[in-house]
């Protein structure tokens, strides 16, 4: 099993995140870099932001949040303490190598160890790569496709 490390995002990481957000494979699913910019989220205590490293190399971004902090939210039915997650691989050479499902699985295990009873994620219905990675990481689709305030989504959950 590859080793993944999660370290909190700091202001020093914003240039790297800006580079990743400008890459076509990230823009396709996350939108333009000025849509929900990381610099704004850095000060939002509701969102935990992470740089994901594999064997010491930063290659991905992950965030988790309490779905009950946004109303309405498609995961508001999950029990208190549950987390929602979003992530992307920023380095193109790390795509299609199994890292997505592996680091998502590792992130969920971290959240479960911290007490989360469930984790939800909401990929776009046409993001087949992400849906497949989430399934490999132990998620199952529970609803959708449906419209959310963030766009069309398939709701997927993983329980402790």
If phi over 0 gives left and psi between -120 and 50 gives alpha, with beta otherwise, what is residue 57?
Answer: beta
- In words, the CATH class of domain 4-119 is alpha beta
Per-residue pLDDT band for 2 (boundaries 50, 70, 90) equals low
CB atoms within 10 A of CB 147: 10
Determine if the pTM surpasses 0.85: yes
> Which has the minimum average pLDDT: 6-20, 28-42, 98-112?
28-42
Q: pLDDT tens digit string along 43-102? A: 899 999 999 999 999 999 999 999 999 988 999 999 999 999 999 999 999 999 999 999
Domains in the chain: boundaries: 4-119
> Any residues with CB less than 8 A from the CB of 142 and at least 6 apart, and which?
155, 156, 157
CB 125 within 8 A of CB 145: yes
């Amino acid at each position: 099993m590859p080793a993944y490390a999660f370290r909190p995002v700091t202001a020093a990481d914003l240039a790297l995140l800006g580079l990743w957000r400008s890459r076509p494979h990230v823009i396709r699913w996350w939108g333009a870099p000025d849509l929900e910019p990381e610099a704004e989220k850095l000060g939002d205590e509701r969102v935990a932001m992470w740089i994901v490293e594999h064997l010491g190399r930063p290659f991905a971004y992950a965030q988790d949040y309490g779905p009950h902090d946004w109303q309405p939210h498609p995961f508001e039915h999950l029990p208190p303490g549950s987390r929602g997650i979003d992530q992307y691989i920023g380095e193109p050479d790390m795509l299609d190598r199994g890292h997505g499902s592996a680091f998502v699985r590792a992130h969920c295990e971290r959240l479960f160890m911290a007490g989360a009873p469930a984790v939800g994620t909401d990929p776009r219905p046409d993001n087949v790569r992400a849906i497949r990675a989430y399934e490999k990481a132990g998620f199952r689709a529970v609803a959708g496709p449906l419209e959310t305030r963030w766009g069309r989504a398939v709701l997927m959950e993983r329980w402790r």
